[in-house]
With several copies, the nearest count.
Chain A
Amino acid sequence: MAELLAELTADTAADPAVSPSEQLLLVLDGFEGPLDMLLALGRDQKVDLTRISILELADQYLAFVAEARKVRLELAADYLVMAAWLAYLKSRLLLPEPEGEEPSGEDMAAALAFQLQRLEAMKGVAAKLFARPRLGVDVHPRGAPEDLDLRRKSVYEVTLFDLLRAYGQQRARKEAGVLHIAPVRLYSMEEAVQRLTALLGHMPDWATLASFLPGGEGGGLLTRSALAAHFAATLELAKAGRVELRQEGAFAPLYVRGRQAGDTPADPSDS
């Protein structure tokens, strides 16, 4: 991780005016999502992707997320989901395999390795594709075509793109005609429910409610509304039987875990 950070922020690291959070933001800007970042970390291992150490990769990624949270950087949900999944994967790889129908840690690691290889392959061929001689750039058609109209079945030149764009623009005009009241910048419970649902789906283990909160510089009212909304959302989801909650005592951290279909209800002593 440190290597990657150093590499990607080489220009700014020397500049004391750039804060750690800005540096991290710059790193993040260089990636097309968490998978892309994992791929970059994987390449740092300088081995064939088929022989990559998934454990090492998970550690590097988790170190990055920890760093980001330390400087209270708002990470997109995608990155948090990946962190949760990798933490789980790590535990599966390190602990003895439990009995059960869940995919084994090895299977999960293999699936991740496959995704990385597939993404790497697509990046590779994308580069090859765009390295080819391209029409209008390297290779040219007849510059002064004589319009013979051999194939055109209609005298009007309209493409599917024109048609779809016209419809899209027409719909957009119509939708834009509706008056939108500016909402107050508060976190709604619906949004918290949505966010938690998305995150929990990938999070089979206990985690503190605080870890689900969007970090960031919103501060003040927005942060407090996020906490309130997420708290209310966990209660709502618990009522619907979709999550389980656990708290050791009054004011102790609240733990949340997604409830898988077919799970037995949580041990009452846990609640």
Chain B
Amino acid sequence: MIKEVTDAQEAEARIGRLRLLEALLFASAEPLDEETLAGRVGPEVGLLLEELRAHYAPRGVNLVRTGGGWAFRTAVDLAPELRREEEVSRKLSRAAIETLAIIAYHQPVTRGEIESIRGVATSKGTLDLLMEHGWIRPGKRRETPGRPLTWITTDHFLDHFGLESLRDLPSVDDLRAAGLLDSRPVLLGLGTAGDDGGLAATGEDGDEES
């Protein structure tokens, strides 16, 4: 993995790039994508990142990959000693937790589909709360009648839950194999009082002036 270095000068330049990469990643609280990093340390950024990752793997701070970006994070196994109580106490409602899971596993998913999966209408304060946490955002409109808005998860969602990509969602392959990631509405049209079709059709684009 580590490129053969023959020349002492080149070795020094390489160490310089490694140090710069380390400093860039350390300075930022948010993940940085490879493109941005390549702009600063050159095209061999992939190799340098792997080298850094390996160096930090056994340490108290690790280099992790999340949603296409890289960031330093404290090691997972130190969690019990670093847990911040005040964060833990901010508990989310069951509705919010389930809704987030449905968006994560079924995305892009419309509100109507979320409601049909949960069997109840989505209360106000659920989607906006998840969005305020930076976990979800509106995706493209679905090209079906009424053009309902879809919801998707963000890169910050991956970062927050320590996931490299959506493929790493717990049990995602099992659920897909079992056919449970099908968001089609089933015979029972439950909880879809405000189904997307009707809603999106009214007041489209919200450009009406009252």
Q: A residues touching B (Cβ–Cβ < 8 Å)?
A: 28-29, 32-36, 74, 76-78, 81-82, 85, 103, 107-108, 111-112, 114-115, 117-119, 121-126, 128-130, 132-176, 180-188, 190-191, 194-195, 198, 201-202, 214, 222
Contact = CB atoms under 8 A, between A and B. Distances in A.
Contact of A111 (B105, B160, B188): B188
Contacts of A29: 206
A158 B157 CA distance: 11
B115 to A, nearest CB: 9
B190 A125 contact: no
Q: Tell me whether chain B's interface is mostly helix, strand or loop, or mixed.
A: mixed
Contacts of A171: 172, 175, 181, 183, 206
B54 interface: no
B186 A156 contact: no
Interface stretch (B5-13, B44-52, B140-148, B193-201): B193-201
Interface in B53-108: 71-76, 79, 82-85, 87-92, 94-95, 97-98, 100-102, 104-105
Place the interface of chain B in its size category. 35 or more
Nearest to A120: B180
Interface in B148-180: 156, 159-163, 169-172, 175-176, 178, 180
Of the candidates A29, A107, A132, A140, the one having the most CB atoms from chain B within 10 angstroms of its own CB is A140
Contacts of A169: 181
Contacts of A155: 85, 87-90, 133
Interface of B: 23-24, 26-30, 32-33, 36, 40, 71-76, 79, 82-85, 87-92, 94-95, 97-98, 100-102, 104-105, 117-121, 128, 131-134, 137-138, 156, 159-163, 169-172, 175-176, 178, 180-183, 185-194, 198-206, 210
A186 B191 CA distance: 7
A171 to B, nearest CB: 5
B120 A33 contact: yes
Given A144-B30, A147-B88, A166-B97, A133 B76 contact: yes
A155 to B, nearest CB: 4
B106 to A, nearest CB: 8
B92 A167 contact: no
Given A77-B199, A126-B97, A163-B97, A146 B190 contact: no
B202 A74 contact: yes
Contacts of B133: 154-156
Contact of B89 (A76, A129, A152): A152
Given A160-B161, A163-B101, 19 more contacts: A29-B206, A32-B98, A33-B119, A114-B186, A130-B97, A140-B84, A143-B29, A144-B71, A149-B84, A156-B89, A167-B175, A167-B181, A168-B182, A170-B98, A170-B117, A174-B119, A184-B189, A190-B194, A201-B189
